[in-house]
Chain A
Amino acid sequence: GDSVTQMEGPVTLSEEAFLTINCTYTATGYPSLFWYVQYPGEGLQLLLKATKADDKGSNKGFEATYRKETTSFHLEKGSVQVSDSAVYFCALRDSSASKIIFGSGTRLSIRP
C-alpha cells in the first residue's frame, strides 16, 4: 500500500542554520504531496503542497520539490528561526484515493 517515510527526529539546529527534512514515498499512480506542520498546542496545518512531478511548493520560507525519479519531497529552509520549532509531517494523497496518508513526523527544535 501507499506509505510515507520521513527522517526520524528530533532535529536540533541553531537559529539561521539550513534545514533539510527528508521524505520519500511509495505510491501507485501520481500522488499529490504535502507538508503539514504542528506547532506546540495547535492542530496540524498545511504548510505547502505539490501536485505533480517537478512542482515546487513554498510557504513561509520553506520549499519542497516533487521528485518523481527519486520518489522524494524533501523540506528545506535556508535560515530557520526559533518560531519554526514544531513537528513536521510529510503526507500524500494517491491519485486513485481520497484519503491522505501521513508520515511519522519529525520534531524540529531551534536554539536561539
Chain B
Amino acid sequence: EAEVAQSPRYKITEKSQAVAFWCDPISGHATLYWYRQILGQGPELLVQFQDESVVDDSQLPKDRFSAERLKGVDSTLKIQPAELGDSAMYLCASSFSTTGEKLFFGSGTQLSVL
C-alpha cells in the first residue's frame, strides 16, 4: 500500500537554529496536512493545503513557522528560529480531497530542541 513519506525521522537542534521537515504525500492526493503532536496530546492542525494553495493556516505560528507546497506535490515545513517549546512530533497526512474522510499519516518527524 502507498505511504506518506516523511524525513528526517528524528531531528535534534539547538534553540534559535532553523529546521526543516519534508513530506511526500500519496500520489494523487490533492490535500496535504501538517499536524503537531505534543507528547500526551492529540495532533493539532498547523496547516492544510489543497494542491499548492493554503486552505487553513489559522493555527500556524507565522512569526517562526512557514510551509510550502510549490508544485502541489511534496511539502516542506520550516521553523526559524526554533524554540524549546517546539519540541514535538510533526506529522504529515494526505487525503484525496478536502472532504476526504480518510487521512493517511506518515510516521512523523520527532523534533527535540535543546
Using a CB–CB cutoff of 8 Å, the interface residues on chain A facing chain B are 4, 32, 34, 36, 41-46, 49, 51, 89, 91, 93, 98-105
Tell me which of A4, A100, A103, A105 contacts B103 (CB under 8 A). A100
Binding site of A, secondary structure by majority: helix, strand, loop or mixed? strand
A101 shortest CB reach to chain B, Å: 8
Residues of the A chain whose Cβ atoms lie less than 8 Å from the Cβ of B66: none
In the complex, 10 of the A-B residue pairs with CB atoms within 8 angstroms, ordered by the A residue number, are A42-B107, A43-B4, A43-B104, A44-B91, A45-B105, A46-B102, A46-B103, A49-B101, A99-B48, A103-B42
B42 and A98 within 8 A (CB) = no
Q: Are A98 and B55 in contact (CB-based, < 8 A)?
A: yes
Return the chain A residue nearest B108 by Cβ.
Answer: A43
Nearest-neighbour CB distance to chain B for A66, whole angstroms, equals 13
Whether the Cβ atoms of B98 and A98 lie closer than 8 Å is yes
> Are A100 and B4 in contact, CB atoms less than 8 angstroms apart?
no
Interface size on B, residues (CB 8 A): 24
B residues touching A (Cβ–Cβ < 8 Å)? 4, 31, 33, 40-45, 48, 55-56, 91, 93, 98-99, 101-108
> How far, in whole Å, are A112 and B97 apart by their CA atoms in the complex?
41
A101 to B41, CA, bound (A): 12
**Chain A residue contacts of B42, Cβ below 8 A:** 4, 89, 91, 102-105
A101's nearest neighbour on chain B, judged by CB, is B45
